[in-house]
Amino acid sequence: MNKKSVIFYVFLIFSCSVFSYDYIITPGFSLYSYLEFNQRTYNTVLKKEKLDIRKLSYTTENQMWNFVRTDFTGSEKDVRYVSPSNELKWSIDKGNIFVSYLNNEKKDFFDSLIIYIKNFGFGFNFNGGKKSADSWARYGGYNVNQLLKHIGAGRTQFKSKDYVDKFFVIADYKFKISDKFDFLWSYNGDTNSFGIKYSVSDFVFETGRVESGDYSKLSKLANISQNRNYFRIIYFFN
């Protein structure tokens, strides 16, 4: 990476932080092989917490491998429903069909297995929620209404396996608006995301919003909120 590229990334990080957007930076080595940095902001009662997501993608002629590492930059004690994790995706036909396995590192959190074909997929959450009420899943929803009913009925012991979706569906679609603009939609089993993508030369600019879902409702019970706007720039360099 040359000096001009370094200056560009420093400026981009500063700009996104000032505007308080969740942001993603992807310096791409090719269309399908790239490194990505993604930061999400959570506002707790006392302070802001940031979740860093690092992604490495490598593609051969017919296969694509993605490794995603998720970490907190600060304390994660107040953001109980998010866990450091490792996710491995393997795809044939360059993304049209892939299998994904996600392992959450927090004790008793759920792991996820996903099978995805073109714009639709399904998955399973397993291996968690047996011992604690504070264990969640990355994909799928959470039965908050059932939890509130149990709380109202006076229940004092809770296990997440009674509320976390064991089976879920995911989907995404890109609507072509013009030669340079696309409208984006995705669903992770809990929340819908909407965005606009603008492509020009070696750059892709994307901005959008993640709508509220079950885990958003759950987090409000603990006075935790997440910035739901996001901004993304992809720069493909040789």
pTM value is 0.78
Q: Among residues 87, 23, 41, 74, which one has the least CA distance to residue 219?
A: 41
Residues 21 and 230: beta-carbon distance below 8 Å: yes
* Burial class of 57 by CB neighbour count within 10 A (0 to 12, 13 to 18, 19+): buried
In the chain, where are the structural domains located? 20-236
Q: Write the CA distances from 104 to 74, 81, 108, integer angstroms.
A: 18, 11, 9
Q: Per-residue pLDDT tens, the chain, 238 aa: give them.
A: 455 454 444 444 444 444 444 555 555 545 557 777 777 777 766 667 777 878 888 777 778 888 888 887 666 555 666 778 899 888 877 667 889 999 988 888 899 999 988 889 999 999 988 887 778 888 999 998 888 888 888 887 888 888 899 999 999 999 999 999 999 999 999 999 999 999 887 778 888 888 888 888 877 776 767 777 877 777 665 4
Give the other-Cβ count within 10 Å of 129's Cβ.
23
Whole-number pLDDT of residue 76: 56
The two tokens of residue 173 are: 């679609």
Whole-number pLDDT of residue 20: 42
Whole-number pLDDT of residue 95: 62
